[in-house]
Amino acid sequence: MILTDTEILKEIEEGNIVVEPFRQDCLGTNSYDVHLGRYLCTYKDRVLDAKKHNPIQEIIIHPEEGFLLQPGTLYLGVTEEYTETHRHVPFLEGKSSIGRLGIIIHATAGKGDVGFCNTWTLEISCIQPVRVYAGMPIGQLIYFDVKGNIDNLYYKKVNAKYTNRTIKPVESMMWKNKF
């Protein structure tokens, strides 16, 4: 079941959902709008290796001119908002206005885990060149109820790789897995 605006507010008041900074005008009927942070990253190498750490290069989006995304490049972006979810499954979806510009904000990782506490790294790609700006609405968080007790919250997992609080995008940590 998806939480409505009144249920999201109730869960925020009870501390089960945290959004920093919280803005009432970003609360939709059944979602919360998140915004593009000022940092983007790209991988330094064109060929990536899942078994190795792939270094990234940081890009700062200039407030007035924005940044021009190019097709064929994966950009790692970040939300301005830090979030925590302690009793719900958060899903990050692109806003329809972003989709209509040909921007895709996540390649595969739209679902968060219960217990995820951080900003969201975005896996941004585009269909055609498009200029983006820090602070623009980029996505919306939708919260789902879970059934049953949770024994393994994300931030308590021994092998959780994305728990260090950050305001910058985080590159893939696949190389830390054993395979």
Task: Provide the Cα torsion 159, 17, 125, 176; round to 10°.
Answer: -10
Query: pLDDT tens-digit profile of 88-122?
Result: 999 999 999 999 999 999 988 788 999 999 999 99
Query: What distance in Å separates the CA atoms of residue 38 and residue 14, rounded to the nearest whole number?
Result: 30
Query: What distance in Å separates the CA atoms of residue 125 and residue 75, rounded to the nearest whole number?
Result: 6
> Quick one: pLDDT at residue 110?
83
Query: What distance in Å separates the CA atoms of residue 3 and residue 13, rounded to the nearest whole number?
Result: 14
Backbone angles phi, psi at 24, to 5 degrees: -55, -35
Beta-strand runs (E) in the chain = 17-20, 32-35, 39-43, 56-60, 67-69, 75-78, 82-85, 88-94, 103-104, 117-118, 121-126, 130-132, 137-145
For 7, the token pair is 């249920």
pTM score of the predicted model:
0.93
Quickly tell me which residue has 């009793």 as its tokens: 87
Is the pLDDT confidence value at 68 over 90? yes
Task: Provide the Cα torsion 58, 91, 134, 24; round to 10°.
Answer: -150
Is 81 marked active-site?
A: no
Q: Which of 7, 84, 93, 123 is catalytic?
A: 123
Domains and CATH numbers, the chain: 5-46+57-171 (2.70.40.10)
- Mean of the pLDDT values across residues 6-26? 98
Is the pLDDT confidence value at 156 over 90? no
